[in-house]
Chain A
Amino acid sequence: MLNRRNFLNLGLGAAAATAMTPFLGRAALAAEQDMRLFWFGSPGRAERTMAVAKLFEAANPGMTILGEVGGNDYWSKLTTMLAGGNAPDIFQLEPGRFADYAGRDTMLPLDDYLGSTIRTDRLQADSLKLGTVNGKVAGMPLSTNAFALLYDTEAFKSAGLTPPDRNTTWDDFATLCIEMTKAIDKPNVWAMGNAARYSYAFEPFLLQRGRKLYLENGQIGFDATDAADWYGYWESLAANGGCVSADVQAQDKLQIDSNPMSTGNAVMAIAFSNMIVGYQALQQNPVGITTLPVAEAGGASGLFYRAGLHFGIAKNAADPEMAARFLDFFINDREAGKILGVERGVPLNLDVRAEIAPSLDEVQTLSADYVEGIKDIVGAFPAQVPVGASELEARVYRTIADQVAFGQMTPAEAGQALVDQANAILG
């Protein structure tokens, strides 16, 4: 019954409730949380990544993900932030530098979160190996891809040549390149870039002859003869007009848009399978994808499933549990998978992989089918690249290959120089 006293109480209660509201508001504010996410890549990748971040925010009220995209300066920025103690909570790494950062103890080992916060039951077999350094899972592989040869399908049609396939040897390939350059018959256009400087092209070449780029103990797994053969192959290909001239190759910065194929100086490129998306974006004609040339027909393919990219959680992340949840979401959530497509490589989660297959466009389907199609010929995942590999990558492979291309060194000298310098850096 409503009498004056009750009414008063009600009024007081309402007043109190009103007075309390700001405090409630503040309590809600305390649950609000920021998480910094840092990656590198194209604007398309940024759109996809931020869209997934928005989904994650919607599923975790109060959470805000602050995305930062790095360009050329990504690695210096990341290094500076790590050194300065203000590392982003989650950052992207690529296989070539992964162990450099993991080996320097910058990332939180994920082993405690695997199987619980980060679900692993539907991941492709052995996926976690791609992120394992010194027996610990240092970072989460996000996707998988493989080495591939990309080519301009129209160029092959108009030249009347057949694109390389599983049985094309390096010698066949040289003949093919020389014929292709002749068929194109345009100044400053060749069949191929000079791939001598790419360690990711050298690695399958080595695997095919039973050698390795790096060993488990962090040393190189090839000798001066292997390297000399490699440089010799490209030198003679260049001399016969099968691949681009030295000054064209020197302008390549190991990026999609600076590769001779993208600059219009070549019609083929050795790349990673996921990069077909990026290459196609810069080409008029449809891009095809196939396996790399081999040492002998039917022999080892030199291919293996590698991690597309990794996400690592910073050692001093404010909320590692939340960061681990984000990694789980990024890898295992179907909606997230649909947004990401195969831009970073084929999803590691097999359910997600099957789920997104119908929604992929033509180019992405090519990439996904290629990765699927090589499953019977891939070898085991090789040793993680050792600490110091990024220095080799940035300073040694390129420089020595250029010295051969500009005629400052013979292939034999270059082979010895590569071994010497690699040993000096890897210690």
Chain B
Amino acid sequence: MSVNEAPLYRAPLWLRFKGQLAGYGFLSPWLIGLFALTLGPAVSSLYLSMTDYSLMSSPRWVGADNYVRIASDDPRFRAAMNVTFTYVLLSVPLKLIFALAIAVLLNKGLKGLNWFRAIFYLPSLIGGSVAIAVLWRQVFASDGIINQVLMAVFNYEGPSWIANPNTAIYTLVALAVWQFGSSMIIFLAGLRQIPTDMYEAASIDGASRARQFFKITLPLLTPVIFFNAVILTIDAFKAFTPAFVISDGSGGPIDSTLFYTLYLYQEAFTNFRFGYASALAWVLVAIIAGFTALAFLSAKYWVHYDD
């Protein structure tokens, strides 16, 4: 039977659809979720972002006014951008380095590897929780553990890291870096994929351990690094809980922990500017999309796929 031969019988459209019905049926939880819970609110938020909507009154169309104000006349937006970019640009690279370093150590065939993996992963499981943010507040308080150690070891009386506007953001960066577990697990999986014969060949050729790391491990790991970097960046832009809990929703002291999402939340739920908050949300979407696009564009210059 030749390939070009037309089929003898073609089922009518409804019958063919009927065959696919089961497929759609299985997809339906996701489809319903997408349309009812994600797309619907997203579309209405896009509409609201062009309105003046203070909750009780019905939305009033203002066109691009909200976006114009964000761009030109909102000092707290600039403060929030400052805080958020500091957080993203510090926490993401630090977390990547930390996760990779621990993953490389664990990959050395340590005894009890499973235990260590579980222990190092633990902060990621509980790290996003309110309890940990509360704990963090204690650790970095003026009489917290950090200062007690500083006092005992260096006889240095540290400030209240959390309450000081100059240091508060770094405690949040530290909290983020501490939750390196899930990136570490992904790195570990990536390290396992690298064929051991490459290292054998390299060491026969006399390459040092450091050289092996930079010439074999890192290049072969770039797809994993890329993946982790994109995920972590998106997550960092969306971070909310730590700042909310540590500053009790104020973003203080003096707006020094005013994450973008926290500012958005305040505008909506404290100041009743739902229209403006929606506009802020879309600006964040644009920023995250921009960063992700940039990452993908840059990928062809540094991400190495071996196929």
B248 touching A72 by the CB < 8 A rule? yes
A391 at the interface (CB under 8 A from B): yes
A390 touching B270 by the CB < 8 A rule? yes
A122 at the interface (CB under 8 A from B): no
Chain A residues, CB < 8 A from B250: 253, 394-395, 398
Chain A interface residue count: which class?
20 to 34
A250 at the interface (CB under 8 A from B): yes
Q: How far apart are A128's CB and chain B's nearest CB, in angstroms?
A: 23
In whole angstroms, how far apart are the Cα atoms of A399 and B162 in the complex? 15
A75 touching B254 by the CB < 8 A rule? no
Chain B residues, CB < 8 A from A253: 248, 250
In whole angstroms, how far apart are the Cα atoms of A52 and B145 in the complex? 45
Known: A398-B252, A399-B254, A403-B254. A248 touches B56 (CB 8 A): no
Q: Mark A363-398, 1 if CB is under 8 A from B, else 0.
A: 000000000000000000000000000110011001
B269 at the interface (CB under 8 A from A): yes
Chain B residues, CB < 8 A from A188: 142-143
Q: Which one of B159, B160, B255, B269 lies within 8 Å of A79 (CB-CB)?
A: B269
Mark out the residues of chain B between 45 and 103 whose CB falls within 8 Å of any chain A CB in the assembled complex.
54-57, 76
B230 at the interface (CB under 8 A from A): no
B253 at the interface (CB under 8 A from A): yes
Q: Which one of A80, A104, A406 lies within 8 Å of B56 (CB-CB)?
A: A104
B271 touching A391 by the CB < 8 A rule? yes
Chain B residues, CB < 8 A from A83: 55-56, 274
A250 touching B164 by the CB < 8 A rule? yes
Q: How far apart are A206's CB and chain B's nearest CB, in angstroms?
A: 24
In whole angstroms, how far apart are the Cα atoms of A344 and B30 in the complex? 49
B272 touching A79 by the CB < 8 A rule? yes
Q: Mark B161-187, 1 if CB is under 8 A from A, else 0.
A: 011110000000000000000000000
B252 touching A250 by the CB < 8 A rule? yes
B266 at the interface (CB under 8 A from A): yes
Chain B residues, CB < 8 A from A395: 76, 250, 266, 270-271
Mark out the residues of chain A between 287 and 314 whose CB falls within 8 Å of any chain B CB in the assembled complex.
none
A82 at the interface (CB under 8 A from B): yes
Chain A residues, CB < 8 A from B270: 75-76, 390-391, 394-395
In whole angstroms, how far apart are the Cα atoms of A341 and B186 in the complex? 59
In whole angstroms, how far apart are the Cα atoms of A246 and B255 in the complex? 15
In whole angstroms, how far apart are the Cα atoms of A79 and B267 in the complex? 12
Chain A residues, CB < 8 A from B56: 82-83, 104-106
Q: Nearest A residue to B248 by beta-carbon distance?
A: A253
Q: Mark B138-163, 1 if CB is under 8 A from A, else 0.
A: 00011100000000000000011011
A402 touching B253 by the CB < 8 A rule? yes
Chain A residues, CB < 8 A from B223: none
B163 touching A250 by the CB < 8 A rule? yes
Q: Which one of A104, A251, A391 lies within 8 Å of B163 (CB-CB)?
A: A251
B249 at the interface (CB under 8 A from A): yes
Q: How far apart are A247's CB and chain B's nearest CB, in angstroms?
A: 4
Q: Nearest B residue to A394 by beta-carbon distance?
A: B270
In whole angstroms, how far apart are the Cα atoms of A150 and B81 in the complex? 41
A408 at the interface (CB under 8 A from B): yes
In whole angstroms, how far apart are the Cα atoms of A246 and B253 in the complex? 10
Known: A251-B141, A399-B252. A104 touches B159 (CB 8 A): no
B254 touching A402 by the CB < 8 A rule? yes
Known: A106-B56, A406-B253. A248 touches B269 (CB 8 A): no
Q: Nearest B residue to A258 by beta-carbon distance?
A: B248
Chain A residues, CB < 8 A from B141: 251
Chain B residues, CB < 8 A from A72: 248-249
Q: How far apart are B95's CB and chain A's nearest CB, in angstroms?
A: 27
In whole angstroms, how far apart are the Cα atoms of A395 and B255 in the complex? 9
Mark out the residues of chain A between 46 and 96 whose CB falls within 8 Å of any chain B CB in the assembled complex.
72, 75-76, 79-80, 82-83
Task: Give 8 CB contacts A-B under 8 Å.
Answer: A83-B55, A83-B274, A104-B54, A251-B162, A390-B270, A395-B266, A395-B271, A402-B165
Which positions in B face A, CB cutoff 8 Å?
54-57, 76, 141-143, 159-160, 162-165, 248-250, 252-255, 265-266, 269-272, 274
- 9 other A-B residue contacts (CB within 8 Å) besides A79-B269, A104-B272: A75-B269, A76-B270, A188-B142, A390-B270, A394-B250, A394-B270, A395-B250, A398-B252, A402-B253
Which positions in A face B, CB cutoff 8 Å?
72, 75-76, 79-80, 82-83, 100, 104-106, 188, 246-248, 250-251, 253, 390-391, 394-395, 398-399, 402-403, 406, 408
Query: Which 4 pairs of residues, A with B, have the shortest CB-CB distance?
Result: A76-B269, A250-B163, A247-B160, A247-B163
